[in-house]
Amino acid sequence: MQHFFTAMKAHDLRKATVGFDTHTAPGFEVFRFRKLNPDITMVENDDIMSELRMVKSADEIARMKKTAHVAELGMVAAADALIAGATENDVAAEAEYAMRKAGSERLGFLTFVNSGERSLGLHGFVSRRVISGGDPVIVDLHPVADLYASDMARTFVCSLSWWHSSTSSQHGVHQACGSLR
pLDDT per residue as tens digits for the range 78-120:
999 999 999 999 999 999 999 999 999 999 999 999 999 999 8
Q: What is the pTM of this model?
A: 0.70
Q: pLDDT category, 67, cuts 50, 70, 90? A: very high
Q: What is the pLDDT of residue 104?
A: 98
pLDDT surpasses 70 at 161:
no
**pLDDT (0 to 100) of residue 33:** 83
Mean pLDDT in the chain? 87
Strands (E), the chain: 17-20, 41-44, 106-107, 112-115, 136-141, 143-145, 148-149, 152-157
What domains appear along the chain, each with residue ranges and CATH number?
Answer: 2-53 (no CATH), 58-180 (3.90.230.10)
Tens of pLDDT along 2-12? 777 788 788 88
